[in-house]
Amino acid sequence: MLTHTSGLKDLPLQKMDSVHFLNIKDGENFDLVKYSNTLAFEPGNNFLYSDQAFSALVIILEKVSGVSWQEFVQQKICAPAGMTFTKFSGKPDEQVSGSHGYRKINGVYSEHDQGEVPKMYTAVNGGVWSNVVDLRKYLYALQYCLFLKCDNVKLSQELLVPFNWYSPHRPPHSYCWFIGQIPETESSSISYEGKIGGYRTEVMFVPSSELNIVIVSNNSTSYSQQLIPFLKKFNYIK
């Protein structure tokens, strides 16, 4: 599941009642896969992104380390990287101060955050709050191997191709990043993005030019691809 090639399908969370949705834990979120009675494809044949796979990772991490995933990330990632602004929320009454989220519909922005969108407080769905400064420190820490061995960092940025891959398209993912060619350029990128309600975070780096891009937005519009023409114009990418 952690490679997103298991064929297991995420259970649509919108079918839950709001009380269950707001209070579900990572273990319960992962247990939802037990209700899937069919596979989308044979394991290893194709790619299907799975949020619930990350709940499985949290279960493993907490079992092996003996601490909560929040404490583990704080000790093993945030502290070595110097990420002092990053905060965690684990349940509905542990709100972290931040801007309101918005979305744009027909040219008009409307508020679209905790008040409008039910928020599941698991590790895979908005449990970490950060900013541009700390995310830049995170990329720096990866680049200089501050919390992972350099061999592991390199491995995490390589495409993962199962031995029985069947899809005519190459897999888009490593163990933790999306990897692909930037459209209409000669450059490849390593990237990840996430959104919930009116919030979106986009992280991209271009190895050939050692370029890092971090976008933290309080509206749901994606901006990373809109930057590509400007990056080409000023020769940041080819």
pLDDT digit string, tens, across residues 2-20: 889 999 887 765 555 555 5
pLDDT digit string, tens, across residues 17-69: 555 555 666 766 677 777 778 899 999 999 998 888 888 888 889 999 999 88
pLDDT digit string, tens, across residues 105-148: 888 888 877 665 656 666 666 678 888 999 999 999 999 999 99
In a domain, 223, yes or no: no
In a domain, 200, yes or no: no
Please say whether the beta carbons of 41 and 165 come within 8 A: no
Q: How many CB atoms sit inside 10 A of residue 117's CB? A: 15
In a domain, 122, yes or no: yes
Range of the domain at 60: 13-170
In a domain, 110, yes or no: yes
pTM score:
0.83
Q: What CATH number is attached to the domain comprising 62? A: 3.40.710.10
Number of domains in the chain: 1
Q: In terms of pLDDT, which residue wins out, 217 or 93?
A: 217
DSSP class of residue 14 equals G
Place of tokens 């992280």: 203
Spatial neighbors of 78 by CB under 8 A, at least 6 apart, are: 84, 86, 134
In a domain, 198, yes or no: no
pLDDT digit string, tens, across residues 136-174: 999 999 999 999 999 999 998 888 899 999 999 988 988
